[in-house]
Amino acid sequence: MGQARILDGKALAQTIRTEVAEGVRQIEAQGNRPPGLAAVLVGDDPASRTYVTMKGKACREAGFHSVQVEMPEDTSQEELLDKVRGLNADPSIHGILVQLPLPAHIDEMTVVRGILPEKDVDGLHPVNAGNLVIGLPGFVPCTPLGVRELLMRSGIETAGRFTVVLGRSNLVGKPLALLLARKGKGGDATVCLCHSRTSDLASICRQADILIAAIGRAHFVKGDMVKPGASVIDVGINRIDDPSAKRGYRLVGDVDYAAAEKVAGAITPVPGGVGPLTIAMLLRNTLESALAAAGQHSAVTPKG
């Protein structure tokens, strides 16, 4: 096949963030509140802190009202739930995200259930997850939304295409499989959701017109697992040691990029592929929530 077309998620994310910023200007011009996003960080996990900081910066650049709540590692579950209840009641906040993972003594799903579904811009509340399953409007997790947006805006047809999703997490794999199978634009795919117990995984991958790797294992997908001309979407972000790198490590995906790009028709790089789209879609979800609060239109993915 030669060299695959590179799908530039970083450039697309900037386009979406520009669109969101324009949406903010319009909603304010009509006398409404700007979108407000609250990020809650419990403890001092370096990766989580970096991600929350990035979200805050993106919010400010888009003209959002941004709130960052920091709580100590020993915060009790009830203290965290009290904070969430306060944000639920705050009309200036349209989106609430509690950065995961939480300390071991706090039950993550209990906290997620404490967020109002209409402010659950991460799309993890059981109400939103259930709406996705049965095709009703509801917030969808941001990474799956970003993958679908990348496919649509790159001109990659999903309707009728055999699509293999590697990984069954609640954050990526499951919602992505459901999203791509929905009726309508960016959907109608024939989806096979694979995982660590799938038999003859390599053979299934080789049949995929669209192969999406979200399994959390560096370079798991080899070149001989890719169908010639397939679109390969790499959701994975893994650190591997590299003494020659500035930080002593480098980031790689779940796909062996050097091998796969020789076979694929299109492929996402890591970094610079799916990653930047996650924050862009978080901003868009929050804008949608603000529009709904202003009574302008539904704050969610259309029916399908």
Distance CA 104, CA 82 (A): 18
Distance CA 143, CA 122 (A): 9
Six-digit token pair at 50? 């970096």
185 catalytic per annotation: no
**Catalytic residue (choose from 83, 99, 209, 227):** 99
String of DSSP letters for 215-272:
S--TT-B-GGGS-TT-EEEE---EEEE-TTSTTSEEEE-SB-HHHHTTT-SEE--SSS
**Catalytic residue (choose from 120, 122, 234, 254):** 122
44 catalytic per annotation: no
99 catalytic per annotation: yes
Is 283:56 a contact under the CB 8 Å cutoff?
A: no
**Catalytic residue (choose from 55, 83, 174, 227):** 55
Distance CA 263, CA 154 (A): 18
Neighbours of 223 (CB within 10 A): 15
Is 87:96 a contact under the CB 8 Å cutoff?
A: yes
Distance CA 226, CA 164 (A): 11
Active centre residues (catalytic): 55, 99, 122
